[in-house]
Amino acid sequence: MTSDSSGREWSKSEERIMESTHRALLRYGYAQLSISRIASELDQSKASLYYHYDSKEDLLLSFLEYVTDQLESNIYTDNDEPPSQELERFIETLLPLQLDDDESQLRAAMVELRAQAVKDEEFREQFTEIDDRIVDHLEKIIDRGIDEGEFRNVDATRIAEHIFATINGVMYNRATTNRENASAAVRVSLSSYVNKELYR
């Protein structure tokens, strides 16, 4: 089994299912995704998936948790690096200037999944948890920077929420428009905001 600093442990079979779901999402997108197509990517029967999950929605809720755990695994550090560097790396991970085709398709699929939260309470709860975890991580970086004297004594929650809202806006922009230059402009603006708010 594998795990990260804050997520749950995932068995090898669960990881294979999540990876197959990832591939199916990239190939078909959310609208054409089905248990049959995920099972085909997994090279197993639909029955094997229904053994673990009650429905496609149930599987996708687990997939959202898995993606979040993987994200946190990639950005988690043992706090050896200065808070300023960790914050910069965190923002770069969530808001890269360029996305390859697979990453672009995955993020677009995540926007489609998030849209389900408008009417589906389970998806709403899952995305609420995802957002809370990301903002909490941002707050911890900022609080550590304050404690170590690298950042000014600011309201960490306010700054974290602003950073995350900005990143979310770019995610929607990338998934739903062809405004290719907007992401770079927002990165510059976000960097200016962080410098103004955090540094002495």
pLDDT score of 4 = 42
pLDDT score of 53 = 92
For residue 12, what are the CA distances in angstroms to 2, 9, 73? 8, 10, 17
For residue 79, what are the CA distances in angstroms to 31, 75, 83, 195? 40, 11, 8, 21
Is 72 in contact with 5 (CB distance < 8 Å)? yes
pLDDT confidence bin for 76, thresholds 50/70/90: low
pLDDT score of 79 = 58
State mean pLDDT over 112-123: 93
Is 139 in contact with 156 (CB distance < 8 Å)? yes
Tell me the per-residue pLDDT of 145-179, one tens digit each, with 9 for 90 and over. Answer: 999 999 999 999 999 999 999 999 999 999 999 99
102: buried, middle or exposed (CB in 10 Å: 19+, 13-18, 0-12)? exposed
* pTM, two decimal places: 0.85
Which domains does the chain carry?
Answer: 1-54 (1.10.10.60), 77-198 (1.10.357.10)
Tell me the per-residue pLDDT of 12-26, one tens digit each, with 9 for 90 and over. Answer: 989 999 999 999 988
pLDDT confidence bin for 5, thresholds 50/70/90: very low
pLDDT score of 135 = 95
